[in-house]
A and B are shown apart, each in its own frame.
Chain A
């Protein structure tokens, strides 16, 4: 655990020392929470010398927005919130436009716009290699060509802890300090460091609807009930958090961090099962990445 922490802090400092305009992508989830904590450690007693950037789709859980405000105040860092104005004008909704289109416009395109608008040359992200098969080959310093495209063939070999941080004008780097962490490591660390996380990760009675074999939480009145669907109260929690219509809950009784770690350590299902965007089509995460998704 100490080794993981030290390695991530080294990566964060290295990236910051060599970038012109770094930002830290902040998605409010557990990985972002750990990433923010590591950044604060890396620059203590100072504040991290970069802003946080939240790509807001307008469909995050209410509890997430609350947590965002809390962490912004606690860290004293600048928070940039960006929402794709075209998406807002079009009234994009995951319910009516589908997860694929929603994710493309409100996350992938929005992220590219935000990076361009703010002249960002380096963005930290909380992705881990153990999340999904196509991430296994992702570098810690991942290069994006002009237009933010990820080309697997153009990535650089990473030897020891020596990162080549040089880029040409228009190119950008995404840096993943949590590359070597697993879901279980994240929770162990959250426990060890007592890091605040969104309460949705812990089991509680919540209003949910059963749809397509998944539990969807009804977070506000935008939920379009289908005939026959009814609201139930179930003891559920989330393994990953995104837009609420795209995150499915699991039935769980893990209300404390210890119970949660026990559950994660023994589960027979992967973390990604609760994410509705990965399985749109075969190799779909890989394709999203090439288009510029984090």
Chain B
């Protein structure tokens, strides 16, 4: 067993140097783990105690019998080591004399779209592995596609297992030609083809004598020499506000990481979405006041004016502000087992801002879904309503409040976002903004200039505000049904509120009794409160005996057509009296309760309610189903 340990690399690393992040992609068994293990080993980033552990592991789990199985250097978790597969994104670190490297290693099996997109989101370069015997596969192209979607612009096309095709140049050249042709439309900035044998280390650290026809640099030398696009500092300044630093009354700082451009003390900045403009007083980097900061720096700034900015706002250059919009066209990668539903609200996080986002339309689904062959999804006729795990689609998204958003190719920070499920809090999607749709006449129209009315409030909640007015005798089942209905609406992400007659008598109606005049006033107040809530965009459920027809008519008159829905819970008096859940009927019969509706005071049933519900032969669930069915017809 030869131990080849290159010391030259490590000892040069004495001063801080630049980091290059790359991702490795390939199908199962293309030799990814072997390649990474080999990279570490050959660059002298494997320690002796790890080698002795590797010897034990190779013996226990290895596929190489008597030889060291380099793949075991990187196969992390015990559970997957035994199954011989890798199941997630793993990040590994090594360095050469020139650079620090962060390798994001992703598995080649079914969950790959999600994992690969995650890994590619922070990568500068993608090393795409191809098994020389198999050539460019559909999977290879899918991997390339995902990498391109995430805006990772440099590719190393690593043709592995060259030993198994006798290091044949012709096969290599054909393969490279195939790949270049197939990925032309992806517009990579660079593609570097490389013949490899990971197992033996050919063309990894040193040029291989077995590929004399290949004149390029070996892998590590190539990565060391690759020049990354310099940060473009001429682009306009942007910084999402992450944290308000308020240690005492005399200091109010705005902390965040500069997303693009530069900022100097004295500069004017605009705060979006409010649009307020102010001037920078101090720029603090770490413990020091500095003149200038630039993209990538984590800073704290103070302003000359007392302005109102909070986490989620974006500080921008006033000369060239980004769009503020609530509708944009995006590429979406779905990452959850539970499919995406068009119309369902999700938490959308962009920069440091969280709001609610809804996919209003799936425009097209790309043909590179889950593993296996071509995904055939209906693309003509009605647009699709669902997006499955690992599918990539072009969709239109709408947010509850306007957000600062730029096209992804212009800005990773203000163009990339994630969607979070409101119930499970899982991260369900990654989005890349392609086009900002509604930013009316550009940049000067901000949210506080919009007329906000009942309609817009309702739309923001993805619902039509209504008043559902339950009437009926005491004990008829109004509250039970209203409560159950609210639960169902709530589960459907509706924004609701119950106004319950009994409960309101503790507060807003606490001064009222049960005389006819007080009953009328009671209904008037509840109706007015319901009106305000409907105006606020809510679906309000009123549960009130409201015995007099004229009072209910006055309530109805406050609302528009189809906004007020009277639901009569038609339970006959003798049944209510049998149920008598609060013992009130008994009390009234004893004469201990005056003016009790149905006994000492009349109840006038509605003549034309929108819905009449008989609770005698239906369960509360069935009653609620009936109401929901009615609502759907409106």
Q: Are the chains A and B members of one assembly?
A: yes
Given A3-B19, A17-B311 in contact, is the A265-B92 Cβ separation under 8 Å?
Answer: no
- From B10, B78, B412, B426, give the contact of A266 (CB < 8 A): B10
Cβ-based interface call for A101 (8 A) = no
Q: Smallest Cβ distance from B243 to chain A, in angstroms?
A: 4
* Contact of A45 with B95 at beta-carbon distance under 8 Å, contacts A17-B242, A162-B417, A180-B102 already known: no
Report how far A179 CA is from B102 CA in the complex, Å: 11
Q: A160 and B427: CB pair below 8 A?
A: no
Q: Is B435 an interface residue (CB 8 A)?
A: no
Shortest CB distance B148–A (Å): 16
B520 CB-CB contact with A under 8 Å: no
* Residues on B with beta carbons closer than 8 Å to the beta carbon of A2: 296-297
B300 within 8 A of A: yes
**CB closest residue in chain B, given A133:** B76
Give the distance to chain B from A119, nearest Cβ to Cβ, in Å: 20
A136 and B90 contacting across the interface, CB-CB below 8 Å:
yes
* Segment of B115-123, B495-503, B549-557 in the binding face: B115-123
Tell yes or no: B565 within 8 A of A by CB: no
Residues B48 and A265 in contact, CB atoms below 8 Å apart: no
CB-contacts of B253-278 with A (<8 A): 253, 255-257
Q: Which residues of B contact A262 (CB under 8 A)?
A: 11, 14
The segment from A6-14, A64-72, A109-117 that touches chain B is A6-14
Which residue of B is nearest A41, CB measured?
A: B286
Report how far A251 CA is from B91 CA in the complex, Å: 31
Residue B506 lies at the interface, judged by CB distance under 8 Å to chain A: no
Question: Which residue of the partner chain, among B10, B48, B248, contacts A269 with CB atoms under 8 Å?
Answer: B48
CB B30 to nearest CB in A, in angstroms, measures: 20
For A281, the closest partner residue in chain B by CB is B78
**Contacts of A40 on B, CB cut-off 8 Å?**
287
Cβ < 8 Å to A, chain B residues 395-445: 412-413, 416-418, 420, 425-427, 430
Any chain A CB within 8 A of the CB of B16?
yes
Q: Are A188 and B16 in contact (CB under 8 A)?
A: yes
Residues of chain B with a CB closer than 8 A to A134's CB: 76-78
Whole-angstrom CA separation of A161 from B79 in the bound complex: 29
A158 and B118 form a contact (CB under 8 A): yes
User: Chain A interface residue count: which class?
Assistant: 35 or more
A129 within 8 A of B: yes
* A44–B287 touching, CB < 8 Å: yes
B14 touches A159 (CB 8 A): no
Interface contact A265-B284, CB-CB below 8 Å: no
Does A224 touch B at the CB level, under 8 Å? no
User: B310 to chain A: closest CB distance in Å?
Assistant: 10
**In B3-19, which residues have CB < 8 Å from any A CB?**
5, 7, 10-11, 13-16, 19
| Inter-chain contact A283/B78, CB cutoff 8 Å | yes
Q: Is B114 an interface residue (CB 8 A)?
A: yes
Q: How far is the CB of A277 from chain B (nearest CB, A)?
A: 15
The chain A residue sitting closest to B259, CB to CB, is A161
- Contact call B77/A268, Cβ cutoff below 8 A: no
Q: Which A-chain residue is minimally distant from B88 (CB atoms)?
A: A137
B residues 206-222 in Cβ contact with A at 8 Å: none
Q: Which residue of chain A lies nearest to B295 when distances are taken between CB atoms in the complex? A: A6
In residues 8-67 of chain A, which contact B (Cβ within 8 Å)? 9-10, 13-14, 16-17, 40-47
Q: Select the residue from A5, A6, A41, A287 with max chain B CB neighbours within 10 A.
A: A6
Q: Which residues of A contact B257 (CB under 8 A)?
A: 6, 9-10, 161
Say whether, besides A179-B91, A192-B16, A157 and B298 are in contact (CB < 8 Å).
no
CB neighbours (8 Å) of A156 from chain B are: 426-427
Please report the C-alpha to C-alpha distance between residue A159 and residue B48 in the assembled complex, in whole angstroms: 34
The residue from A1, A160, A182 contacting B121, defined by CB atoms under 8 A apart: A160
Shortest beta-carbon distance from B595 to chain A in Å: 45
Is A270 located at the chain interface by the 8 A CB criterion? yes
| A227 contacts the other chain (CB 8 A) | no
Ordered by A's residue number, 18 sampled pairs between the chains whose C-beta atoms are within 8 Å are A2-B297, A13-B255, A14-B352, A45-B284, A134-B76, A137-B77, A152-B79, A156-B426, A157-B115, A157-B427, A159-B427, A164-B418, A188-B16, A262-B11, A266-B10, A272-B49, A286-B77, A287-B78
Which positions in A face B, CB cutoff 8 Å?
A: 1-7, 9-10, 13-14, 16-17, 40-47, 129-130, 133-134, 136-137, 152, 155-162, 164, 166-168, 179-180, 182, 184-185, 188, 192, 261-262, 265-270, 272-273, 282-283, 286-287
Given contacts A17-B352, A45-B247, 6 further A-B contacts (CB under 8 A): A45-B253, A152-B87, A155-B88, A265-B14, A269-B49, A286-B77
What are the 4 tightest A-B residue pairs by CB atom distance, in nearest-first order? Answer: A46-B247, A283-B78, A1-B16, A270-B47
